[in-house]
C-alpha cells in the first residue's frame, strides 16, 4: 500500500495542506499522509526540521504507527519568526532580561537588629518572644532599649520586612529541542542579563515550550545575599 495524502484522491505526495492557520505572526500549514508504515517511514526522511517545504520552514515531523501496518505522517511548516530573531530564520537570537523580585524576611533579622543601630543577641530575641507569649511579663522592665524596638514592631504585627533581589532571565529559541537542567544549583547568569555583582545566584527555573514548531527555552536565576551550600550546591 502506498502513502496517500489525506483529502486527495490519488497517491501523489504533492498536494495542498490539510490545515492552514494564519495569524498576525505568519502562516502555519499542516500536511498529513496516511498509508503504509514502511512507505511513510521512508518518505519522512525527505523532511528535516529547519529545512523548507512548500516555501515554508519545517518545524515538526511526526510519524505515528497504527494497527495493520499503517501510519499517519504529519508535517508542520510555517513562516513564523519568534521574538528576538530579527527575521533571520534558523536558530533565533536570545532575549535577556533583569528585574527585581520581592522576598519577605523575618523582622527579627533585619540589618538594623544584626549589625545596625539596634543590634540584638539571640538571648535578646528570646526575651522578646517570651514577652509576646506571656502577658504577665513586664516588657518595659525586662527588655533593653534595642530589644524594645523589636518588641514594639512585633506587637503591632510587623513580623517581616521586604527585601528585593535580582532575577535574571534568558529566553532562547531553536528549531531543535534544547536540553534543560542544573536547577537548584549555584550558577552565574549570562553577562548579557546585566545581573549585579554581590549576590549568590541560584538557577531556579529551566523550561521548554513548543510553539509553532519551534522551541522556546526559559531560564531564570535568582540572586541571594547568601545561600545554604548544602541545599544549593555549586554546579
Across residues 134-162, what is the average pLDDT? 95
Q: What is the pLDDT of residues 5-22, one digit of tens each?
A: 443 323 334 344 555 555
Q: Where are the domains of the chain?
A: 4-78, 92-102+163-224, 106-161
Give, in order, the Cα–Cα distances in Å from 204 to each of 98, 113, 183.
14, 30, 5
Q: What is the pLDDT of residues 22-31, one digit of tens each?
A: 555 567 788 8
Min mean pLDDT across 34-38, 134-138, 208-212, 218-222 is at 208-212
Q: What is the pLDDT of residues 30-64, one digit of tens each?
A: 888 888 888 888 988 888 877 888 888 887 888 88
Distance CA(194)–CA(189), nearest Å, equals 9
Predicted model pTM: 0.57
Other C-beta atoms closer than 10 Å to the C-beta of 112 total 16
Residue 143 has which C-alpha cell?
527588655
For helices 145-155 and 122-133, the axis angle rounded to 10 degrees is: 40
Mean pLDDT of the chain: 83
Closest CA relative to residue 168, chosen from 115, 210, 224: 224
> In terms of pLDDT, which residue wins out, 88 or 50?
50
Amino acid at each position: 500500500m502506498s502513502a496517500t495524502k489525506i483529502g486527495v484522491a490519488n497517491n501523489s505526495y504533492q498536494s495542498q495542506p490539510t490545515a492552514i492557520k494564519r495569524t498576525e505572526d505568519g502562516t502555519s500549514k499542516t500536511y498529513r499522509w496516511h498509508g503504509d508504515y514502511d512507505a511513510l517511514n521512508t518518505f519522512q526522511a525527505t523532511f528535516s526540521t529547519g529545512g523548507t517545504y512548500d516555501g515554508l520552514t519545517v518545524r515538526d515531523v511526526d510519524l505515528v504507527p497504527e494497527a495493520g501496518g499503517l501510519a499517519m505522517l504529519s508535517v508542520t511548516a510555517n513562516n513564523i519568526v519568534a521574538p528576538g530573531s530579527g527575521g533571520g530564520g534558523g536558530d533565533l537570537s536570545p532575549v535577556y532580561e533583569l528585574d527585581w523580585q520581592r522576598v519577605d524576611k523575618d523582622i527579627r533579622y533585619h540589618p538594623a537588629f544584626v549589625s545596625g543601630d539596634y543590634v540584638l543577641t539571640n538571648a535578646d530575641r528570646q526575651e522578646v518572644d517570651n514577652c509576646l507569649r506571656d502577658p504577665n511579663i513586664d516588657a518595659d522592665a525586662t527588655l533593653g532599649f534595642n530589644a524594645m524596638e523589636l518588641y514594639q514592631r512585633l506587637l503591632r504585627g510587623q513580623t517581616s520586612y521586604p527585601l528585593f533581589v535580582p532575577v535574571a532571565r534568558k529566553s532562547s529559541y531553536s528549531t531543535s529541542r534544547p536540553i534543560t537542567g542544573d536547577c537548584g544549583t549555584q550558577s552565574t547568569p549570562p553577562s548579557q542579563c546585566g545581573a549585579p555583582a554581590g549576590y549568590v545566584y541560584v538557577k531556579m527555573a529551566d523550561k521548554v515550550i513548543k510553539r509553532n514548531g519551534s522551541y522556546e527555552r526559559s531560564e531564570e536565576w535568582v540572586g541571594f545575599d547568601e545561600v545554604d551550600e548544602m541545599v544549593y550546591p555549586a554546579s
